[in-house]
Amino acid sequence: MKKINILHKSFTKPISCLTAYSPSIANILDGKIDLILVGDSLGSTLYGMKNTQEVTIEMMKNHGAAVNKVVNKSLKVLDMPYNTYENKVDALKNAKILLNCCQPDLLKLEIDKKKLFILKYLVSKKINIISHIGVTPQSFKNFNKIKILGKTIREKNYLLNLAKESEKLGAKAILLECVTTDTAKLITDSISIPTIGIGASKFCDGQVLVFDDLINLTTNNKKPKFVKNYLNFNKMASDAVKKYNKEVKLKKFPSTKFSYS
């Protein structure tokens, strides 16, 4: 599994990561981005859910398997959904289901102190794990209640210790979500495995965004501060739809060029 070498401090360039939930998007990303994440963010992004707690293992299997069919160059990461790794037995059973069906290079788990034993156990079974710390969305029914972490000394020390313990137990990388700049820098400088940030400053070893946010595909106008639009696909698609509608109404489409003789 040579691609895992990307997740090493010796990999000098910052690591890039984007989400993909379908073969069409994954095909665009493959080889142009270091990591492709089939994230449980598909719950809100694709299914209109208010949080990620309703995402099922069947959803992750279906989207993970679809993405796996077209990804050959980038590293594949898959989220384990909410309530599928509460104990060792379930964690291993569900991890094996996802690994066998989707063949990801790594699984990502949202980790707090109570979940460290799960991380340790899965690593002992030779499973590559990314430890997701900081804001862990699976903990929230209401995303409006999410707050930036690492502002207090207590929070900063807790996250630092969690990152160090995750490394000690064998995590391949740490995903830091919505933590202060100084906390992200402290953690990145204090561990030997890479940090990948989302809302965690440029001091992480890599960055991840939801692809739909990157191209402004979502209709959600209340986006987090860390989201940057690189393309206004929403407007482009809207203009294309209006043009199509007009041509249909005027009977300009389909023209002879688009008809069979």
Length of the chain: 261
Alpha carbons within 13 A on the beta-carbon side of 127: 28
Residue in 110, 155, 177, 247 annotated catalytic: 177
Beta-bridged to residue 149, according to DSSP, are: 179
Preceding peptide of 254 cis, ω within 30°: yes
What are the tokens at 5?
């070498």
List C-alpha distances in Å: 214 to 17, 93, 167, 218, 231.
11, 34, 30, 9, 7
Spatial neighbors of 169 by CB under 8 A, at least 6 apart, are: 116, 119, 120, 123
C-alpha closest to that of 199 among 190, 189, 191, 209: 209
| 177 given a catalytic annotation | yes
CB 52 within 8 A of CB 81: yes
What are the tokens at 141?
């029914």
Give CA–CA dist 191/163, Å, rounded. 8
Give CA–CA dist 85/244, Å, rounded. 47
Q: Which residues are the active-site residues?
A: 177
